[in-house]
Each structure stands twice: as structure tokens, then as C-alpha cells.
């Protein structure tokens, strides 16, 4: 394969991301013509990296050429039976994907999302006041972790007493993206780990929990999303049990770790660029664009992968059918061709269209409206309390090249 430009940095090594997004690595990638190739092992396996904003949008909007179903959506390969066993809508292409997306969309449209404002405000206020009383905290444990999961659980109808169990399960799910060895029998799991999402037994725990809650709600429906999911019909068809459990699991993961990361990054940006946030007090109308800027900087999901369904050309590079194509959102979000002075955090950045929620195709984030709402309310409540943060220890990042997660962020109020 003489014509492949082998990339100098090993993007498959989670250690590269241990101190956050390696900006130099990605600016080097964007400056290289065409796409770059990262080999894996000796057997010819590897992947193309897409680092420029426009290329990420092009890949995202062409699911016929760049499939989510033909291979795994993470870099490592898995067997076909494992793909089948774990498939949720994020691992599907149209028309299978379109059917499920139509079923779940109503719960996420702006009109319905707005109902959650008082719940988010109450939860956020309570935790912020605790942090103020203590003069600081580990921001992740004290707020960024419990808020997103609390809101998703409220939405789904998971009772309050089970929220901690959901946090535990998602943490153990994310652990599957790192090198940490996991106990295959945890949560009563008997399924081989290779068949489970993120190779984590927590996926089994989540599935069992979803099944039991679904059965309860089918027998005695309430005003919550699980009741709607287990009874909703499109064209006379319901979701199968498996589809429902897979969606439940996807929501718990997708809406949790991502928003947690954005909330933690919000505080890092506040500590780094206090003058930008001071401006919001005078101009609160800039809060929505500040929220977009927070997500652009955070890029909570570092990448998603697609698989080429045919030979094609992108950015002048020949891609062969079956090859892996990895979209680095954390690179597109700092593309100099798209953003003026991208390393600068600006609450008034005009029309921030970033790829933090994906490049705009059929899989574009289902929960972006909810995430925006949570971040907006959090920012409003922080500003209302005039909170200013000093970071007292180096932030501890999740050891992963997939999520830009933060494990611990110790802050003191100044
Ligand atoms: C700041 C927070 C968030 C970020 C950065 C984020 C990011 C993303 C990204 C990058 C994708 C893939 C897009 C693509 O492949 O084109 C995605 C998909 C998805 N997200 Fe989010 N997300 C966030 C919050 C949420 C929340 C709060 C929920 C739900 C409660 C959610 C649910 C989903 C679902 C279900 C999908 C799959 C959509 C599909 O396949 O059609 N996300 N998200």
C-alpha cells in the first residue's frame, strides 16, 4: 500500500488523549493533504482519519457510502454476530434506522423538551448550593455526573432510588472503552463480553433493568418515556423487546457521559476564560452561543467511525470498499478553514455550527436539544450565583480515545 500517508501519531492509543484533545496532533492532520492512515497490527487492518470540518460533514451526510451498519462504529473490529447482538439505532442505516428514529423522535422535539426546564433547574440549583456551602468540590462527582443521568432517568421514568445504580452501570459501561480489565460475571452477566456494547457486563445489567421496567410500564403505564416506548406504534408496528432494550441502553449512555463531559468542560473554560463569561452577565442573550462554544471546545465524543460500502474518493484520497473511516469531531471543531481563530473561546462566536453533535446526517444527535437545555440552565444558575472557579488539581481525563470524559475536576470557589 505505497500511496497511503501513514500518520505519525497513533490515534488508536488512548494514552494520546490522557491530557485532553492533543491539538498539535490534529492540526498536523488537518495540514496534511488528503486523508491519513493509521495501521493497526500487522494484518493490513487500519483506518482512514477524517479531520477537516467539510469532510466530516460530507461523510456524515452520505450513509449509503459511509455505513454505520456495515461495521462497528468504533475503531476496533467486532464479529458479525456481535454487531447483530448489540445493534441499536446508532449502528443502523436507513431504512431500518429511519423507522426507529421516527418512533423515538417525538420525545425529543423542542416543545416536549421544554417541559424539563423546571426539573433541570431544581436539580442544578440544589447541587450548586451544596457546592457553594462547601466552598468547592470535585465538580464531576458533585454535579456533572448526577445531573445528566438524573434528567434522563426522570425522562424515562426510572425511580429516584435507582439513579445511583444507573450511574454505576454507565461508569462501568464507559470503562469498557478503556484498558481497564472488567469482571465478565458482574451484574449476573453470562453473555460473552464480545457480544456486549463496549464489551462491558454493565450492558447486561442495563438490559435487564430496562426489561423489568418495560414490563412494569406495559402493565401499568405512566406519563413517562418508557411507557410511551413500550406502547408506541409506527405504521401499526411496535418496537420489539430487543429494540426497546437496546434503545434504553443507548439513551442512558449517549445522554450521560457526553453531557457530563460538556458540564465539566464548561467549568474548565470558565476558569481559563473568565472575561468571556463575565460578558454573559451583561449580555445574557449570548448564553445560547456560549453553550455551543462550550460543546465545540469540549467535543465530548471524540470520533465515530463509518465503513465504506464501495470504492470512493474523499479529499483526493482513494478509499476502498470495506475500509474504516473515522471522523474526528474533536479535529473538525478546531478546523482553521471553518472557524476564525479556533483555539480562542468566544461566547459571541457568530453562528457556531460545530460537529460536536455530529456532522448533520441521519444520526445527528437525538438529544442535542436536551443537552443544550441542560447546559443553558446550568450556565444561567452559575451566573445568577456569581460563581467563579479555580481549578485546584490537574483534571483527570478518562483513559479513552473515544470520549473526552473527565473523571475528576477539583474546584474551589473564588
Ligand atoms: C453535549 C452532549 C452531547 C453530545 C456532544 C452528543 C454527541 C453525539 C454525537 C456525536 C452523535 C453521533 C452523531 C452522528 O453519528 O452523526 C450522537 C448521537 C446520539 N445522541 Fe447525542 N450527544 C449529547 C447528548 C445527548 C443526550 C442528552 C441524549 C439523550 C438523552 C443523546 C442521545 C443520542 C442518540 C440516541 C444518538 C443516536 C442518534 C441516531 O443514531 O439517530 N445525546 N450524539
Q: Please check whether residue 246 is in contact with residue 87, taking contact to mean a CB–CB distance below 8 angstroms.
A: yes
Q: Would you give the DSSP letter of residue 360? A: S
Among protein residues, the one whose CA lies closest to atom 24 of ligand 1: 255
Residue 6 exposure: Cα atoms within 13 Å on the Cβ side:
9
pLDDT of residue 136: 97
Cα(108)–Cα(200) distance, integer angstroms: 28
Mean pLDDT of 337-347: 96
Among protein residues, the one whose CA lies closest to atom 21 of ligand 1: 365
Ligand 1 centroid to residue 368 C-alpha, Å: 6
Per-residue pLDDT of 156-176, as tens digits, reads: 999 999 999 998 998 888 777
Q: Please check whether residue 3 is in contact with residue 318, taking contact to mean a CB–CB distance below 8 angstroms.
A: yes
Per-residue pLDDT of 179-229, as tens digits, reads: 678 899 999 999 999 888 888 999 999 999 999 999 999 999 999 999 999
- In three-state secondary structure terms, 60 is helix
User: In the structure, which protein residues have their CB atom closer than 6 angstroms to any atom of ligand 1?
Assistant: 60, 89-90, 101, 152, 250-251, 254-255, 258-259, 262, 295, 300-301, 304, 329, 356-359, 361, 363-367, 370-371
Per-residue pLDDT of 115-144, as tens digits, reads: 999 999 999 999 999 999 999 999 999 999
Phi, psi of 150 (to 5 degrees): -60, -40
CATH number of 14-413: 1.10.630.10
pLDDT of residue 4: 87
Q: H helices of 93-184, where?
A: 96-104, 110-113, 117-134, 139, 146-156, 163-175
Q: Where are the domains of the chain?
A: 14-413
Dihedral of the CA atoms 258, 300, 285, 154 (nearest 10)? Answer: 0
Ligand 1 centroid to residue 392 C-alpha, Å: 31
Ligand 1 centroid to residue 128 C-alpha, Å: 26
Amino acid at each position: 500500500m505505497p500511496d497511503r500517508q501513514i500518520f505519525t501519531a497513533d490515534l488508536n492509543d488512548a494514552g494520546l488523549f490522557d491530557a485532553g484533545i492533543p491539538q498539535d496532533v490534529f492540526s498536523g492532520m488537518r495540514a496534511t493533504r488528503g486523508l491519513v492512515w493509521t495501521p493497526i497490527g500487522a494484518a493490513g487492518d487500519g483506518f482512514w482519519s477524517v479531520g477537516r470540518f467539510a469532510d466530516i460533514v460530507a461523510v456524515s451526510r452520505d450513509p449509503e457510502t459511509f455505513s454505520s451498519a456495515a461495521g462497528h462504529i468504533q475503531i476496533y473490529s467486532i464479529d458479525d454476530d456481535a454487531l447483530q447482538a448489540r445493534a441499536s439505532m446508532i449502528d443502523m442505516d436507513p431504512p431500518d434506522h429511519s423507522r426507529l428514529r421516527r418512533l423515538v423522535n417525538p420525545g425529543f422535539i423542542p416543545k416536549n423538551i421544554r417541559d424539563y426546564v423546571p426539573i433541570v433547574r431544581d436539580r442544578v440549583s440544589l447541587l450548586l448550593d451544596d457546592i457553594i456551602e462547601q466552598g468547592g468540590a470535585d465538580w464531576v462527582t458533585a454535579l456533572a455526573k448526577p445531573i445528566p443521568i438524573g434528567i434522563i432517568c426522570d425522562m424515562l421514568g426510572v425511580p429516584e432510588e435507582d439513579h445511583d445504580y444507573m450511574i454505576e452501570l454507565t461508569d462501568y459501561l464507559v470503562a469498557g472503552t478503556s484498558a481497564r480489565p472488567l469482571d465478565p460475571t458482574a451484574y449476573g452477566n453470562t453473555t460473552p463480553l464480545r457480544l456486549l456494547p463496549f464489551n462491558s457486563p454493565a450492558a447486561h445489567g442495563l438490559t435487564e433493568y430496562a426489561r423489568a421496567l418495560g414490563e412494569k410500564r406495559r402493565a401499568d403505564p405512566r406519563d413517562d418515556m418508557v411507557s410511551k416506548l413500550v406502547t408506541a406504534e409506527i405504521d401499526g408496528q411496535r418496537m420489539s423487546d430487543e429494540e426497546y432494550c437496546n434503545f434504553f441502553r443507548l439513551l442512558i449512555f449517549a445522554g450521560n457521559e457526553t453531557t457530563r463531559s460538556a458540564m465539566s468542560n464548561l467549568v474548565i473554560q470558565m476558569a481559563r476564560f473568565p472575561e468571556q463569561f463575565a460578558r454573559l452577565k451583561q449580555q445574557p442573550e449570548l448564553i445560547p452561543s456560549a453553550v455551543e462554544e462550550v460543546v465545540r471546545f469540549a467535543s465530548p465524543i471524540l470520533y465515530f467511525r463509518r465503513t465504506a460500502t464501495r470504492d470512493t474518493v474523499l479529499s483526493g484520497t482513494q478509499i476502498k470498499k470495506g475500509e474504516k473511516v473515522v471522523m474526528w469531531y474533536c479535529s473538525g471543531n478546531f478546523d482553521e478553514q471553518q472557524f476564525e481563530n479556533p483555539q480562542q473561546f468566544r461566547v459571541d462566536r457568530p453562528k457556531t455550527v460545530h460537529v460536536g453533535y455530529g456532522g448533520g446526517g441521519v444520526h445527528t444527535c437525538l438529544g442535542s436539544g436536551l443537552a443544550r437545555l441542560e447546559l443553558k440552565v446550568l450556565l444561567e444558575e452559575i451566573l445568577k450565583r456569581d460563581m467563579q472557579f479555580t481549578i485546584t488539581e490537574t483534571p483527570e481525563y478518562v483513559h479513552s480515545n473515544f470520549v473526552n470524559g473527565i473523571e475528576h475536576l477539583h474546584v474551589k470557589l473564588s
